[in-house]
Structure formats: C-alpha cells, structure tokens
C-alpha cells in the first residue's frame, strides 16, 4: 500500500539529495529510509533515484512522479489540518527551527505560538534551512525560523534578526578566556562550518566574511555543533556560535570585535495559504518574540 511515509521519504530524498539528511527530515534512521525507498520503487515499478557516494539524484521517472508526490502530501496535509480544526484539544501549530537557532530562542518562539493562539498545540522540528523552506512551501510546517539570506520561493518573511556570536577557541590556542578578539587574530586553526547545502546563501556569506577578515586557517565541515565543540576541545578547530550554553573543558569563549559573523535569522510562513490560518498580527507577535530573544 502506498502510504504517506513512502511519499515523505520520496520528497525528502528529492529535496535533500542525501540519505542522512533525508532521514533526519523524515524523523527516522537511514536503514528504514533505504528500505522504504526500495519498497516504493517496487510499488511504482520504476527506479526513482540514482545512488552515489552518500548522495542521490532523481531519475527521469523520479522527476516525472515528484510533482504528484508533492500534491498527494499537500492533500493529506489539508485533510490533517481540517481534522485538527475539529479537535476539541485545539489546533496544532507546526514550527520548524534551523539547527543554528539557540535553544532559548527556539523556546521563546514556540512559547509565542502558544500564547498567540490560545488552546493550540505547538510541535517543533529541527532541520536545515533548505529543508525547512521546502516544508513550509509545501505546508508541512506552518512556519519556520531559518537562516538569512536564503531563497524563500515566494514565502512571506518577518524582519531579519541578528544574534551576536561567540568564538569558542581552544585555551591552548588562545589562553585569555573572555577577552574580545578581532577575527583576524583567529588564524591558524580551521573554523567549523556545517555543510553548504543546508543553507547555501547563508554559508556563502559566512565564508566570504571569513575570507575578508582572516588571512589563514580555512574551514572544516562538521555535522553539528556538538561535533564542532568536540573538535574545539581537542584543539583542532574554532566554532562561531550564538549559543551561550555551549561549553567544555579546555574551551575559551570570546566575543568577536565588531561582531563580523552574526547569525541572521528570520521567521517565514506561506504567502498564499497558512495551514492554521494564523493572522498577520500573530506572525508579527512571533517575529517580535524572535527579536526579543
């Protein structure tokens, strides 16, 4: 039977072009995602993806069937929201948060959702900005906090909010914990960055700024901030983050002079149809909560 989960796997793989990222978007691990794809291909009688080294690309059959999968998921989503509207427990607001959003900021935005729509049930998911934009566009999410700049594909967006960043540096590399540092002083070790496909425009801006202010050191790609923090503690990298809760032995925390690498965030939501019919004033309250955080 062709289920919603199979369609979710198909669309997530098409969007992410990577098994690990697609599994994270769907909320499962890679083995069941691969198994689901094989079953889907058996059901439709066609190969949907060409597999490479960790990445996948749509076959001609996949390209042809993808619009139908998106429409089917959209219809299922509309049914879901219509059913939720009849639920005496209140409507569900599905919120997406980019991994770069500090926990305190995500909590503030989620709380604003609950305050703005009394009796609602707020659920939150974390996924890369590129995936969140796709999920909001297809109405799988009511709204999301994403990195700026990014291609919004017709979505509405709130104001850009800048979160001031810290540089987490091995104390063996720079022993004066707490001393503000210019970015050019942090040469000699790579700066940890997440994969570019997660947020291409924002990553390019980040890397361009590093190139302008920092003569040497380069970058190293990491899967998440926990991996980056481990590399900093091992004396192998520097992490730039707005999250003031990240800490570890052997890691110093520094403000960057003139704050050249702020994390830019904004709230986005569908332009033509918001799943939970959240009015503009509610969106304004949520954007204010993001700024206040």
Mapped onto helix, strand or coil, the DSSP state of residue 29 is: coil
* 59-91 confidence digits (pLDDT tens): 999 999 999 999 988 887 777 666 656 655 556
User: What's the CATH number for 90-160+264-293?
Assistant: 3.40.190.10
Q: Say yes or no to pLDDT of 219 above 50.
A: yes
**The predicted structure's pLDDT at residue 285:** 61
Decide which of 9 and 276 is more confident: 9
- Choose the weakest-confidence range: 4-8, 14-18, 50-54, 224-228: 50-54
Contact 97, 122 (CB under 8 A): no
Q: Are 225 and 243 in contact (CB under 8 A)?
A: yes
Look-up: residue for tokens 């993001």?
290
Q: Where are the domains of the chain?
A: 1-86, 90-160+264-293, 165-261
**CATH fold for the domain made of 1-86:** Arc Repressor Mutant, subunit A (1.10.10)
pLDDT of residue 168: 95
Same fold, 90-160+264-293 and 165-261: yes
Distance of alpha carbon 179 from the chain centroid? 31
Integer Cα distance of 235 and 7 in angstroms:
44
Q: Is the peptide bond before 8 cis (omega within 30 degrees of 0)?
A: no
What pTM does this model have? Answer: 0.69
Torsion (CA) 164, 170, 176, 177 in degrees, nearest 10: 50
Q: Any idea what the Cα angle at residue 166 is, between residues 181 and 209, rounded to 5°?
A: 70
The pLDDT tens digits for 244-290 are 899 999 999 999 999 999 999 998 887 654 444 455 555 666 666 66
CATH number of this structure's domain 165-261, picked from the four choices 3.40.50.2300, 1.10.3430.10, 3.40.190.10, 3.30.160.270 = 3.40.190.10
Q: Across residues 138-166, what is the average pLDDT?
A: 86
Model confidence at 92: pLDDT above 80: no
| Percent residues over pLDDT 90 in the chain | 42
């Amino acid at each position: 039977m062709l289920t919603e989960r199979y369609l979710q796997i198909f669309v997530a793989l098409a969007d992410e072009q990577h098994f690990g990222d697609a599994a994270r978007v769907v909320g499962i691990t890679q083995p069941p995602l691969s198994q689901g794809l094989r079953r889907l291909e058996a059901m439709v009688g066609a190969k949907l993806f060409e597999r490479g080294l960790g990445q996948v690309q749509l076959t001609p059959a996949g390209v042809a069937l993808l619009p139908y999968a998106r429409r089917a998921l959209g219809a299922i989503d509309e049914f879901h929201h219509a059913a939720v509207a009849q639920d005496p427990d209140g409507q569900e607001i599905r919120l997406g948060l980019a991994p770069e959003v500090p926990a305190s900021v995500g909590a503030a935005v989620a709380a604003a959702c609950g305050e703005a729509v009394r009796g609602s049930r707020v659920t939150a998911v974390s996924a890369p900005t590129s995936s969140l934009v796709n999920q909001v566009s297809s109405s799988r999410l009511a709204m999301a906090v994403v990195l700026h700049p990014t291609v919004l594909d017709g979505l509405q967006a709130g104001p850009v909010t800048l979160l001031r960043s810290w540089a987490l540096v091995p104390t063996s590399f720079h022993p004066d914990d707490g001393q503000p540092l210019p970015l050019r002083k942090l040469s000699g070790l790579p700066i940890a960055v997440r994969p570019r496909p997660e947020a291409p425009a924002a990553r390019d801006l980040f890397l361009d700024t590093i190139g302008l202010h920092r003569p040497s050191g380069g970058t190293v790609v990491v899967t998440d901030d926990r991996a980056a923090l481990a590399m900093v503690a091992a004396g192998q990298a520097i992490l730039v983050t707005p999250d003031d809760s990240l800490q570890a032995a052997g890691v110093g925390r520094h403000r960057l002079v003139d704050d050249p690498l702020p994390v830019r965030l904004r709230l986005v939501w569908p332009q033509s149809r918001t799943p939970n019919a959240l009015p503009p004033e509610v969106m304004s309250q949520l954007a204010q909560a993001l700024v206040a955080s």
